[in-house]
Amino acid sequence: MHYQQHLDGKRSRFYVLFSCLVQFEKYIKTRSLILKLGKRCTEQFEKGEEEANILRIKAVPSLAIVLMGSIDCLTTTIGILYFGAVESNPFLAGITMTNLPAFAVIKLAATIFAVLLFSLAEKILMKAQDKNSKAFVRTRYLLRGAYMAVVVFLLIIVLNNIIVIVRMA
Protein backbone atom coordinates (compact mmCIF):
# COMPACT_ATOMS: atom_id res chain seq x y z
CA MET A 1 0.00 0.00 0.00
CA HIS A 2 1.53 3.31 -1.09
CA TYR A 3 0.87 6.78 0.23
CA GLN A 4 0.14 8.67 -2.99
CA GLN A 5 -2.33 11.26 -1.82
CA HIS A 6 -1.17 14.86 -2.32
CA LEU A 7 -1.20 16.81 0.87
CA ASP A 8 -2.99 20.07 1.27
CA GLY A 9 -1.85 22.85 3.58
CA LYS A 10 -3.73 21.40 6.58
CA ARG A 11 -1.63 18.23 6.92
CA SER A 12 1.87 18.38 8.31
CA ARG A 13 5.10 16.78 7.09
CA PHE A 14 5.17 14.77 10.31
CA TYR A 15 2.09 12.92 9.09
CA VAL A 16 3.87 11.94 5.85
CA LEU A 17 7.00 10.86 7.71
CA PHE A 18 4.99 8.91 10.27
CA SER A 19 2.88 7.12 7.65
CA CYS A 20 5.97 5.91 5.83
CA LEU A 21 7.69 4.77 9.00
CA VAL A 22 4.65 2.73 9.94
CA GLN A 23 4.67 1.17 6.50
CA PHE A 24 8.36 0.19 6.90
CA GLU A 25 8.13 -0.71 10.56
CA LYS A 26 11.33 -2.74 10.83
CA TYR A 27 13.45 0.21 9.66
CA ILE A 28 12.25 2.75 12.23
CA LYS A 29 15.26 2.26 14.49
CA THR A 30 17.93 2.34 11.78
CA ARG A 31 16.75 4.93 9.31
CA SER A 32 14.80 8.15 9.32
CA LEU A 33 13.13 9.19 6.12
CA ILE A 34 12.83 12.76 4.93
CA LEU A 35 10.03 12.92 2.43
CA LYS A 36 8.99 15.51 -0.09
CA LEU A 37 5.31 16.24 -0.27
CA GLY A 38 3.47 14.06 -2.76
CA LYS A 39 6.24 11.41 -3.08
CA ARG A 40 5.47 7.78 -2.56
CA CYS A 41 7.08 6.20 0.50
CA THR A 42 8.65 3.35 -1.44
CA GLU A 43 10.40 5.72 -3.86
CA GLN A 44 12.00 7.63 -1.01
CA PHE A 45 12.86 4.46 0.89
CA GLU A 46 14.45 2.75 -2.11
CA LYS A 47 16.46 5.89 -2.90
CA GLY A 48 17.68 6.03 0.69
CA GLU A 49 18.61 2.34 0.63
CA GLU A 50 20.51 2.79 -2.65
CA GLU A 51 22.48 5.73 -1.25
CA ALA A 52 23.25 3.79 1.93
CA ASN A 53 24.52 0.83 -0.09
CA ILE A 54 26.74 3.11 -2.19
CA LEU A 55 28.22 4.63 0.96
CA ARG A 56 28.84 1.17 2.42
CA ILE A 57 30.53 -0.05 -0.76
CA LYS A 58 32.77 3.02 -1.00
CA ALA A 59 33.76 2.86 2.65
CA VAL A 60 34.93 -0.76 2.69
CA PRO A 61 38.14 -0.39 0.61
CA SER A 62 39.04 2.90 2.28
CA LEU A 63 38.58 1.44 5.75
CA ALA A 64 40.57 -1.64 4.77
CA ILE A 65 43.47 0.53 3.60
CA VAL A 66 43.39 2.64 6.78
CA LEU A 67 43.13 -0.49 8.94
CA MET A 68 46.00 -2.28 7.20
CA GLY A 69 48.18 0.85 7.21
CA SER A 70 47.55 1.39 10.91
CA ILE A 71 48.32 -2.24 11.75
CA ASP A 72 51.48 -1.98 9.64
CA CYS A 73 52.57 1.09 11.59
CA LEU A 74 51.76 -0.57 14.91
CA THR A 75 53.51 -3.87 14.16
CA THR A 76 56.56 -2.07 12.77
CA THR A 77 56.79 0.12 15.85
CA ILE A 78 56.39 -2.87 18.20
CA GLY A 79 59.01 -4.81 16.24
CA ILE A 80 61.49 -1.93 16.40
CA LEU A 81 60.91 -1.06 20.07
CA TYR A 82 60.69 -4.50 21.66
CA PHE A 83 62.34 -6.98 19.32
CA GLY A 84 65.13 -5.06 17.57
CA ALA A 85 63.58 -5.31 14.11
CA VAL A 86 64.50 -2.81 11.39
CA GLU A 87 62.36 -1.00 8.84
CA SER A 88 62.92 -2.47 5.37
CA ASN A 89 61.80 0.70 3.57
CA PRO A 90 65.08 2.53 2.84
CA PHE A 91 63.39 5.95 2.90
CA LEU A 92 62.00 5.43 6.39
CA ALA A 93 64.78 3.28 7.90
CA GLY A 94 66.85 6.29 8.97
CA ILE A 95 63.88 7.98 10.63
CA THR A 96 63.10 4.90 12.73
CA MET A 97 66.57 5.02 14.28
CA THR A 98 66.35 8.70 15.23
CA ASN A 99 62.71 9.68 15.70
CA LEU A 100 60.10 6.93 16.06
CA PRO A 101 57.11 9.28 16.61
CA ALA A 102 57.95 11.09 13.36
CA PHE A 103 58.10 7.69 11.64
CA ALA A 104 54.59 6.85 12.93
CA VAL A 105 53.22 10.23 11.81
CA ILE A 106 54.75 9.87 8.32
CA LYS A 107 53.52 6.29 7.97
CA LEU A 108 49.95 7.13 9.02
CA ALA A 109 49.92 10.33 6.94
CA ALA A 110 50.98 8.34 3.86
CA THR A 111 48.14 5.88 4.50
CA ILE A 112 45.56 8.65 4.84
CA PHE A 113 46.96 10.40 1.75
CA ALA A 114 46.53 7.18 -0.27
CA VAL A 115 42.91 6.89 0.88
CA LEU A 116 42.24 10.52 -0.02
CA LEU A 117 43.76 9.98 -3.47
CA PHE A 118 41.55 6.96 -4.09
CA SER A 119 38.49 8.87 -2.89
CA LEU A 120 39.33 11.81 -5.14
CA ALA A 121 39.85 9.49 -8.11
CA GLU A 122 36.48 7.84 -7.45
CA LYS A 123 34.79 11.23 -7.13
CA ILE A 124 36.28 12.45 -10.42
CA LEU A 125 35.37 9.19 -12.16
CA MET A 126 31.76 9.37 -11.00
CA LYS A 127 31.39 12.84 -12.55
CA ALA A 128 31.73 11.29 -16.01
CA GLN A 129 28.79 11.96 -18.29
CA ASP A 130 28.62 8.56 -20.01
CA LYS A 131 28.79 5.86 -17.36
CA ASN A 132 28.07 3.13 -19.90
CA SER A 133 31.09 3.76 -22.12
CA LYS A 134 33.90 1.22 -22.36
CA ALA A 135 36.42 3.78 -21.12
CA PHE A 136 34.39 4.45 -17.97
CA VAL A 137 33.92 0.75 -17.23
CA ARG A 138 37.62 0.01 -17.80
CA THR A 139 38.69 2.91 -15.63
CA ARG A 140 36.33 1.85 -12.87
CA TYR A 141 37.70 -1.71 -12.98
CA LEU A 142 41.24 -0.32 -12.95
CA LEU A 143 40.45 1.81 -9.90
CA ARG A 144 38.86 -1.11 -8.06
CA GLY A 145 41.83 -3.28 -9.00
CA ALA A 146 44.20 -0.67 -7.63
CA TYR A 147 42.18 -0.53 -4.41
CA MET A 148 42.43 -4.29 -4.05
CA ALA A 149 46.13 -4.34 -4.96
CA VAL A 150 46.90 -1.80 -2.22
CA VAL A 151 44.87 -3.76 0.34
CA VAL A 152 46.58 -7.04 -0.61
CA PHE A 153 50.02 -5.37 -0.57
CA LEU A 154 49.38 -3.94 2.90
CA LEU A 155 48.05 -7.30 4.08
CA ILE A 156 51.27 -8.99 2.94
CA ILE A 157 53.31 -6.34 4.76
CA VAL A 158 51.29 -6.80 7.96
CA LEU A 159 51.62 -10.59 7.78
CA ASN A 160 55.38 -10.20 7.23
CA ASN A 161 55.62 -7.91 10.28
CA ILE A 162 53.70 -10.40 12.42
CA ILE A 163 55.90 -13.30 11.25
CA VAL A 164 59.06 -11.31 12.06
CA ILE A 165 57.75 -10.41 15.53
CA VAL A 166 56.74 -14.02 16.27
CA ARG A 167 60.14 -15.35 15.14
CA MET A 168 62.01 -12.82 17.28
CA ALA A 169 59.89 -13.45 20.37
Q: Which residues have C-beta within 8 Å of that of residue 38, sequence separation ≥ 6?
A: 6, 7
- Find out whether 80 and 71 touch, Cβ atoms under 8 Å: no
Is the pLDDT confidence value at 92 over 60? yes
pLDDT of residue 111: 95
**Residue 61 — pLDDT band, cuts 50, 70, 90?**
confident
Measure the CA dihedral 59/60/64/66, to 10°: 0
Is the pLDDT confidence value at 134 over 80? yes
CA 8, distance to chain mean position in Å, is 42
Question: For the whole prediction, is pTM greater than 0.75?
Answer: no
**Residue 41 — pLDDT band, cuts 50, 70, 90?**
very low
- Find out whether 150 and 69 touch, Cβ atoms under 8 Å: no
Measured distance CA(104)–CA(36) in Å, rounded: 48
pLDDT of residue 62: 87
Write the pLDDT tens digit of every residue in 148-160. 999 999 999 999 9
Higher pLDDT, 105 or 20: 105
Higher pLDDT, 10 or 120: 120
What are the CA-CA distances from residue 73 to residues 42, 59, 123 (Å)?
46, 21, 28
**Residue 133 — pLDDT band, cuts 50, 70, 90?**
very high
Measured distance CA(69)–CA(62) in Å, rounded: 11
